[in-house]
């Protein structure tokens, strides 16, 4: 029943075993670029990575999880042109790049907590590792992999025969078909390691280097920090599917040049959250934050539940109907779990736990694990054992079932008075007055639902 994971480097499902014999798994996941809030698409990838970590722990491994914060060097264009997203974002909100790095890093960490995503073991910021990045570039420069242009130091991808293996890129094909201006680059796939500050106008974030004042390219931060904290070759590297063709391809190229390894044994990618059939993106019209869900009355854990219903290697279309369905299902699961009696001496059902292990170890099949939870809840079995089993399974689902309890909703006196007046009007068949009372209740932010036994009040937009 060993853990199998789909590795995009070899394009195959492979049995996982840690490289380090002491059983600690090294995991590097590409973190956010902190020029704005993250959207819920970004969090789909972070939720997948959290699930992977929980499954590794479920299998008895300790995990050393390193995540970077990109707070310099990520340009608006993947072709190494355009502005630094941080400097542009700083102008947008009228603060410095240093200030927004802190604001959006804090916001990101707060969102992780709201979604039940465990924090990384090591959170490292690109701007705190400039020396490591410069040392890295100096080293690969000595090995002959770099060249200088007017605007920076570039990696020469033609020096590696297997450049682009992860993405199955065919460099010759790309070169032959190139139509775009590559600036001073020798090959279309070459990428910046160090960019010079522009001659006119001063950048907010810039540093001295052997090549002149400037800032690091985006890809070098991950190679440098991953190597610093996890070594030349570690277990698993993750990110979203958009990283396959450029960012991760270039991380591998740099590390191969310096250390002769492909950086990680396994390369796993989370597939996109789509909005109207397109990748959800910050630049696109609709940009949903975790806070946007809360503002509409959703518990962020409903989004976590929604992500669990789809396999991480399949794209998922976001719709409000799908989120509604997830919120209803989560509410039922919570109520079902809450109604089971807790007994600290009850042991989980091993047969069910084995089924969960089979599902999780089959490349993180969370949808199947959820289905097993529902079957468990419906089973006529000892209620205390059912609760102990579901509590244990929640270690991988991360839905915080044990922490939840129904909330008493306090209805304001004014709303109760209006509801009573409406009942009296209905009894007197004064429908116009009853409608007026309903509208007055709605104006105060409440909804009234008629039930056979009377009525029920709930705040408008509240899902449970
Ligand atoms: P960024 O802040 O752009 O560096 O992205 C942070 C993480 O979110 C990266 O791993 C991206 O690959 C991932 N990501 C970006 N857009 C989406 C999306 N629509 N769905 C899922 N993951 C995404
Ligand atoms: Zn990265």
Query: How confident is residue 175, by pLDDT bands cut at 50, 70 and 90?
Result: low
Q: Considering its fold, how many domains does the chain have in total?
A: 3
Do residue 28 and residue 174 come from a single domain? yes
* Ligand 1 close to Cβ of residue 227 (< 6 A): no
Ligand number, closest to the Cα atom of 74:
1
* Ligand 1 close to Cβ of residue 32 (< 6 A): yes
Do residue 417 and residue 397 come from a single domain? no
Query: How confident is residue 450, by pLDDT bands cut at 50, 70 and 90?
Result: confident
pLDDT at 285 over 60: no
Which segments of 231-365 does DSSP mark as H helices, in order? Answer: 247-259, 290-295, 300-308, 320-338, 350-361
∠ CA 122-128-132, rounded to 5°: 90
pLDDT at 179 over 60: no
Q: Which domain holds residue 426?
A: 413-459
Query: How confident is residue 452, by pLDDT bands cut at 50, 70 and 90?
Result: low
Q: Which residues share a beta bridge with 268?
A: 238
pLDDT of residue 464: 44
pLDDT of residue 88: 83
Do residue 137 and residue 204 come from a single domain? yes
* Ligand 1 close to Cβ of residue 41 (< 6 A): yes
Do residue 231 and residue 191 come from a single domain? yes
Please enumerate in sequence order all residues whose Cβ is within 8 A of that of 112, keeping only pairs 6 or more positions apart, or say none: 46, 118, 119
Asked if residues 134 and 141 have their Cβ atoms less than 8 Å apart, the reply is: no
Q: Is residue 102 part of a domain?
A: yes
Ligand 1 centroid–CA 313 distance in Å is 14
SS3 content of the chain, % helix, strand, coil (to 5): 45, 15, 40
Average pLDDT on 197-213 reads: 87
Asked if residues 251 and 223 have their Cβ atoms less than 8 Å apart, the reply is: yes
Do residue 182 and residue 243 come from a single domain? yes
Atom of ligand 1 nearest to the CA of 30: 10
Over residues 257-275, the pLDDT tens digits come to 999 999 999 999 999 999 8
Domain edge (last residue) among 358, 382, 403: 403
Q: Is residue 278 part of a domain?
A: no
Place of tokens 């072709």: 79
Do residue 364 and residue 442 come from a single domain? no
Q: Is residue 237 part of a domain?
A: yes
Q: Is residue 300 part of a domain?
A: yes
Over residues 233-260, the pLDDT tens digits come to 999 999 999 999 999 999 999 999 999 9
Average pLDDT on 452-463 reads: 68
State the average pLDDT for the chain: 92
Atom of ligand 1 nearest to the CA of 70: 4
- Of 335, 216, 318, 203, nearest in space to 271 by CA: 318
Average pLDDT on 30-58 reads: 96
Average pLDDT on 323-347 reads: 95
Over residues 365-381, the pLDDT tens digits come to 999 999 999 999 998 88
Average pLDDT on 110-124 reads: 98
Average pLDDT on 332-343 reads: 95
Do residue 357 and residue 290 come from a single domain? yes
Average pLDDT on 432-445 reads: 91
Q: Is residue 23 part of a domain?
A: yes
Q: Is residue 464 part of a domain?
A: no
Over residues 45-89, the pLDDT tens digits come to 999 999 999 999 999 999 999 999 998 877 777 777 777 788 788
Average pLDDT on 436-452 reads: 85
Do residue 379 and residue 438 come from a single domain? no
* Ligand 1 close to Cβ of residue 45 (< 6 A): yes
Over residues 286-326, the pLDDT tens digits come to 689 999 999 999 999 999 999 999 999 999 999 999 999 99
Query: How confident is residue 174, by pLDDT bands cut at 50, 70 and 90?
Result: low
Asked if residues 399 and 116 have their Cβ atoms less than 8 Å apart, the reply is: yes
Query: How confident is residue 99, by pLDDT bands cut at 50, 70 and 90?
Result: confident
- Of all protein residues, whose CA lies closest to atom 18 belonging to ligand 1? 41
Do residue 374 and residue 399 come from a single domain? yes
Q: Is residue 317 part of a domain?
A: yes
More confident residue, 161 or 202: 161
Query: Cα separation of 211 and 225, whole Å?
Result: 21
Percent of all residues in the chain with a pLDDT value above 90, rounded to a whole number: 73
Please, is 186 exposed, middle or buried when counting C-beta atoms within 10 Å of its C-beta (0-12, 13-18, 19+)?
Answer: middle
Q: Of 81-85, 94-98, 155-159, 420-424, which one has max mean pLDDT? A: 155-159
Q: Pull the structure tokens for residue 278.
A: 């397109």
pLDDT of residue 75: 79
Query: Cα separation of 341 and 260, whole Å?
Result: 56
Domain edge (last residue) among 236, 270, 304: 270
């Amino acid at each position: 029943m060993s853990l199998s994971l789909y590795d995009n480097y070899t394009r195959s499902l492979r049995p996982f075993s840690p490289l380090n014999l002491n059983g600690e798994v090294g995991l590097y996941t590409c973190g956010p670029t902190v020029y704005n809030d993250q959207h819920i698409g970004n969090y789909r990838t972070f939720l997948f990575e959290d699930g992977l970590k929980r499954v590794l722990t479920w299998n008895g491994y300790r995990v050393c999880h390193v995540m970077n914060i990109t707070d310099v060097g990520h340009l608006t264009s993947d072709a190494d042109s355009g502005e630094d997203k941080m400097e542009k974002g700083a102008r947008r909100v009228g603060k410095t790049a240093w200030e927004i790095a802190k604001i959006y890093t804090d916001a990101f960490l707060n969102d992780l907590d709201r979604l039940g995503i465990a924090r990384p073991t090591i959170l490292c910021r690109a701007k705190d590792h400039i020396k490591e990045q410069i040392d890295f570039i100096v080293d690969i420069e000595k090995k002959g992999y770099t060249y200088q242009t007017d605007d920076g130091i570039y990696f020469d991808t033609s020096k590696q025969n297997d450049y682009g293996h992860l993405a199955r890129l065919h460099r010759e094909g790309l070169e032959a078909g190139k139509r775009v201006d590559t600036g001073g680059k020798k090959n279309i796939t070459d990428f910046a390691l160090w960019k010079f500050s522009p001659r006119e106008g001063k950048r907010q974030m810039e540093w001295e280097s052997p090549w002149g004042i400037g800032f690091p390219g985006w890809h070098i931060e991950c190679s440098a920090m991953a190597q610093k904290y996890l070594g030349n070759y570690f277990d698993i590297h993750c990110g979203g599917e958009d990283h396959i063709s450029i960012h991760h391809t270039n991380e591998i190229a740099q590390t191969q040049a310096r250390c002769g390894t492909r950086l990680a044994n396994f390369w796993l990618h989370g597939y996109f959250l789509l909005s109207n059939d397109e990748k959800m993106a910050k630049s696109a019209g609709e940009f949903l934050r975790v806070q946007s869900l809360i503002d509409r009355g959703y518990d962020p854990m409903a989004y976590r539940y929604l992500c669990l219903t789809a396999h991480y290697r399949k794209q998922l279309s976001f719709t409000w109907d799908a989120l509604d369905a997830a919120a209803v299902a989560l509410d039922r699961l919570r109520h079902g779990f809450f109604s089971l009696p807790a007994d600290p001496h009850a042991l989980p059902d091993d047969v069910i736990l084995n089924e969960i292990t089979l599902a999780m170890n089959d490349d993180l099949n969370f949808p199947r694990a959820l289905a097993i939870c529902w079957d468990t809840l419906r089973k006529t079995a000892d209620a205390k054992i059912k609760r102990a089993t579901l509590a244990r399974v929640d270690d991988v689902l991360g839905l915080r079932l044990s922490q939840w309890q129904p909330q008493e909703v306090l209805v304001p006196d004014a709303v109760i008075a209006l509801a009573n007046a409406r009942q009296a009007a209905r009894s007197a068949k004064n429908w116009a007055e009853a409608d007026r009372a309903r509208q007055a209740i709605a104006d105060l932010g409440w909804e009234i639902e008629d039930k056979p036994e009377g009525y029920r009040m709930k705040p408008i937009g509240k899902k449970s």
